[in-house]
Amino acid sequence: MYFSWYAIQRYETLNAYTADLSLIDQAMWNTLHGHFMEATWGDHQQPRFAEHVELILIPLSAFFWIWDDVRILLIVQAYVLAVGGLPVYWLAKQYSPVHPLFFVMLYLFSPPLQASAVADFHADPFVVTPYLLTFWYATRKSWRWMWFWAIIVMMCKENMPTLLVMLGMYLFMQQPATTKVSEPSAGLNQKKHAIALIIISVAWFAIATFGIVAPLARVNFGTDVPVYLANRFSSNPIEWLTMLTDINRMWYLTGLLLTTGGLALFAPHYLLLGLPIIIANMFSNFAGQYSGEQHYSAPLVPIFIIAAIHGTKHLAHIIPKNQTPIRGGSKLLGFLMIVAFGIASSYHYCYGWTPLSRRAETYSHDYHTRLLPHFLKQIPAGVPISASAGLHPHVAHRHVAYTFPTYQESQFIFVDVTDVPGVHPNEVKAKIDELLSNGKWHVLSAIDGFILMERASVDVRQVLPPEFYSFAKAKLVSQKSLDVEFDEKIKLTNFSIIDEPFHEQTAVEVRWHVLQDNLADDMMLWVQFYDDFGQPLNQPLWQPMIETLWYPSSKWQKDEIIMTKTLPQDLGDVFHVGVGVGYGHDFPELVVWDSNQKRSWLQLGTFRRGNWSLEIMPPTPIVQPLTTTKVDFEKGLSLMGYHLPHEPISPDDPLIIILAWQIIAPIEHDYTIFIHVINEQGQLVAQHDSTPFWVFSNPTTNWQTGNLILDSHKFEDHLPDGKHQIRVGLYTWGTVLESLPLISGEDSLVIGTVYVLNYSKY
């Protein structure tokens, strides 16, 4: 019930997408409506079997006769996974000395199992319960039921028969335990079923993979083998060996073991039952397969639970027993189960999807998502449509449903401009502008970033209504935790950090108070992330804020509160945030007046990621310890400090040097800073010449007197091994290069030494 609700909340709040909800859902719906396993891929219709053979989807599509809504699939998926607790209980009761409910809890709290219930809808989760039932009936020698559930396993996906091949090998090698005189041929009978299971599974795997998927993939994707084999696995064995040293892959395997508290390690031979899927996930080029986050690990959950059940059985046999063996052994075994449950619970706390986990995401409705029914009721059933990926699952129950920006023969286009995954915001804007201006589309409704358009029968050119831009305006005037004006045109009122700690994705939401009407069209609100060395971590020109892209400064009205948000990204363990306002591509131009201090931009804060959440620290202009000095050049310019690496660096590491400058009077020329790297033989081995730079270019003519000016220089090229002097100077460009000498008369100075050491040689 919980995961049915959770998956539905995720869907209803526009967090489920074309891939992989609509692509499967639409194929199932089309199957019931005369288009067998057909879905819209790109600009054409193609069979689902071109990617995977998932025969289980055919009977599952009958649920649409009960409720013609994709949400019924999410409910069925969750309940089928939950039912797996029954065979887990039966197996544990039969083979483990530990109470069966212990293993039911391990099963239900397994993060990979929960992830498969959350990650939209797939066929893989439907193998879990049938496989457990196949194994259960095989151990009970109930062959008819074993074959029934084995066929269900084969129907789930073309690669699932590989699990049955391993089960067949297990049954062939296992000595059947029977004491019935009437069954002298029990062992022979088991081997026959084992051989048949192997042969039939191999045959269906070959037919489905190379007889169905491969030919269809050749036609639809242009690959000679199934598209996932072509794109996700390397044919170079050396690359496979290097994958074994990948810490992420090793942690994935460790995580699977931790789901059972390590108990599966006490029966490692049972883990061989899942070897084909383990290999496929471990050696895939697609990180999702070895993340444990999606549906790929669901088929391994029953394997690890079976191993854990038999692991406790083995533990009970090896625990030393005293004169009261049952009591003594039970106490120690009980203690070990508490430890195992603690390990599994800790892993669930870190990676699970229940309220007991720190990473469980919260999905809730807001003004934006509550507008969805208003648009859906305007879209006729059955007509071809193009929808952005987050809206696509809500309109996919029709023969043709393109994913925007593809629209081909669509009669309607439905887009949420605030969330078009996989498409650059600039491309979304350009495509919508094109549709509005070509006279072929009529806007039916546009509110809060949603646009619904219908193909027009007459030439019509439209502009978006004012209510469309409400997503760029704060619904309420926020408390003014900041009060920073930019040239009396716009005021920064406050900001907040939006952080997703599990994936370490961070965005910043900033609110601005418009102080004037008729602002320039190219005013740009610039939110800049940077590291401890003043190097930018984002490029606002390439990663624009969607709000200002659609609602530029020329449209702003006096006293409006403009709300902008950066695109989420991984910013590292420590980062800093600054803001400025400029025109066009130049940052910054508008001057900040803050506490009577004139400056061109404002540092908002420093953020450090701890074990989980971000720690907010006060802004500080100096983010690396500087070696203080006082070296005077002419023109009233002084080098006040510098930062060099304290430890030897690798040749593969970039060399970053920070300089700190100060002037006593404005400088008339734009000087170039040069840094020379000189080896012990006095040879120049590298150099870096640039305009002073800290987060952005800062020419010397812009420097303010009395301020400490930071200047960062990054050497991208590899440096040779050895001890190197660092020499610093300045010059101007002209008919000849004219250096700015020191007061002492020299044209440059040595500020220190760096060591480059190739550790791989030692």
pLDDT digits (tens, 9 = 90+) for 623-682: 788 999 999 999 999 999 999 998 899 888 889 999 999 999 988 889 999 999 999 999
Q: Which residue has the higher pLDDT, 4 or 610?
A: 4
Q: Give the model's pLDDT for residue 158.
A: 96
**Contact criterion met (CB below 8 Å) for 371 and 414:** no
In this prediction, residue 460 carries a pLDDT of 80
Is the predicted pLDDT of residue 326 greater than 50, yes or no?
no
Check pLDDT > 50 for residue 66: yes
Residue 181 scores a pLDDT above 50: no
What confidence score (pLDDT) does residue 320 get?
66
- Calculate helix-pair angle for 143-156, 128-139, nearest 10 degrees: 160
Q: How many Cα atoms within 13 Å fall on the side-chain side of residue 536? A: 15
Given a cut of 70, is residue 759 above it in pLDDT? no
Residue 179's pLDDT band, with cuts at 50, 70 and 90, is very low
Nearest of 753, 682, 760, 687 to residue 717 by alpha carbon: 687
What fold, for 473-617?
A: Coagulation Factor XIII; Chain A, domain 1 (2.70.50)
- Digit-coded pLDDT (tens) for 689-704: 999 998 888 889 888 8
Helices 143-156 and 161-173: crossing angle in degrees, nearest 10, is 150
Range with the poorest average pLDDT among 235-249, 352-366, 434-448, 557-571: 235-249
Contact 312, 96 (CB under 8 A): yes
> Which of 148-162, 399-413, 720-734 shows the lowest per-residue confidence on average (mean pLDDT)?
720-734
Q: Higher-confidence residue: 179 or 85?
A: 85
Residue scoring higher pLDDT (242 or 531): 531
The predicted pLDDT at position 479 comes to 56
Residues of the chain with CATH 3.40.190: 375-471
Q: Is the pLDDT of residue 323 over 70?
A: no
CATH 2.70.50.60 for the 627-761 domain, yes or no: yes
Whole-number pLDDT of residue 587? 61
Q: Using 50, 70 and 90 to split pLDDT, how confident is the model at 511?
A: very high
Task: State residue 560's pLDDT score.
Answer: 93
- Range of weakest confidence among 88-92, 140-144, 442-446, 589-593: 589-593
| Strand, coil or helix: 616 | strand
* pLDDT surpassing 60 at residue 592: no
pLDDT score recorded for residue 586: 63
Q: Is the pLDDT of residue 182 over 50?
A: no
Cβ–Cβ < 8 Å for 26, 39: yes
Residue 290 has pLDDT above 50, yes or no: yes
φ, ψ at 720 (rounded to 5°): -70, 160
**Cα(632)–Cα(654) distance, integer angstroms:** 29
Q: How confident is the model at residue 318 (pLDDT cuts 50, 70, 90)?
A: confident
From the DSSP assignment, how many helices (H) and strands (E) are in the chain?
Answer: 22, 28
User: Predicted confidence band at 177 (pLDDT cuts at 50, 70, 90)?
Assistant: low
Q: Above 60 in pLDDT, residue 41? A: yes
- Tell me what the mean pLDDT of segment 34-44 comes to: 96
pTM: 0.89
Q: Using 50, 70 and 90 to split pLDDT, how confident is the model at 302?
A: very high
- Mean pLDDT over the full length of the chain: 90
The pLDDT value given to residue 324: 42
Q: How large is the average pLDDT for residues 705-729?
A: 91
CA distance linking residue 169 with residue 275, whole number of Å = 12
- pLDDT, residue 736, reads 66
Q: Which regions of the chain carry the CATH code 2.70.50.60?
A: 627-761
Per-residue pLDDT, 185: 64
Residue 600 has what pLDDT? 67
Percentages of the chain per state (helix, strand, coil), in multiples of 5: 40, 25, 40
Whether the per-residue pLDDT at 327 is higher than 70: the answer is no
pLDDT category of residue 227 using cuts at 50, 70 and 90: confident
Q: Please check the confidence at residue 110 and state whether its pLDDT lies above 90.
A: yes
pLDDT mean over 287-292: 91
User: For 353-386, what is each residue's pLDDT tens digit?
Assistant: 999 999 888 899 999 999 999 999 999 999 999 9
d(CA 375, CA 510): 29
* 745 pLDDT above the threshold of 60: yes
* Residue whose C-alpha is closest to residue 512's, from 558, 556, 561: 561
Q: 375-471 sits in which CATH class?
A: alpha beta
> Each residue of 598-610: pLDDT tens digit?
556 788 889 998 8
Phi, psi (deg, nearest 5) at residue 739: -80, 155
The helix or strand, by DSSP H or E, that contains position 116, with its residue range, turns out to be helix 111-118
Q: What are the pLDDT digits (tens) for 475-497? A: 655 555 788 888 888 899 989 89
Residue type, 501: P
End-to-end CA distance of the chain: 58
- E strand intervals along 691-737: 693-694, 696-697, 709-715, 722-732
Q: Which of 180-189, 194-203, 369-378, 457-466 has the lowest mean pLDDT?
A: 180-189
The token pair that represents 132 in the structure block = 């457990």
239 pLDDT band (50/70/90 cuts)? confident
As to burial, measured by CB atoms within 10 angstroms (0-12 exposed, 13-18 middle, 19+ buried), residue 492 is buried
The 3-class SS string of 329-344 reads HHHHHHHHHHHHHHHH
Lowest mean pLDDT among 124-128, 176-180, 380-384, 504-508: 176-180
DSSP 719: P
Angle between helices 100-108 and 85-95 (to 10 degrees): 140
Residue 618, pLDDT score: 81
Q: Above 70 in pLDDT, residue 240?
A: yes
For residue 617, the number of C-alpha atoms closer than 13 Å in the C-beta half-sphere is: 12
Across the range 102-116, mean pLDDT stands at 97
> What pLDDT was estimated at residue 598?
56
Q: What is the pLDDT of residue 362?
A: 87
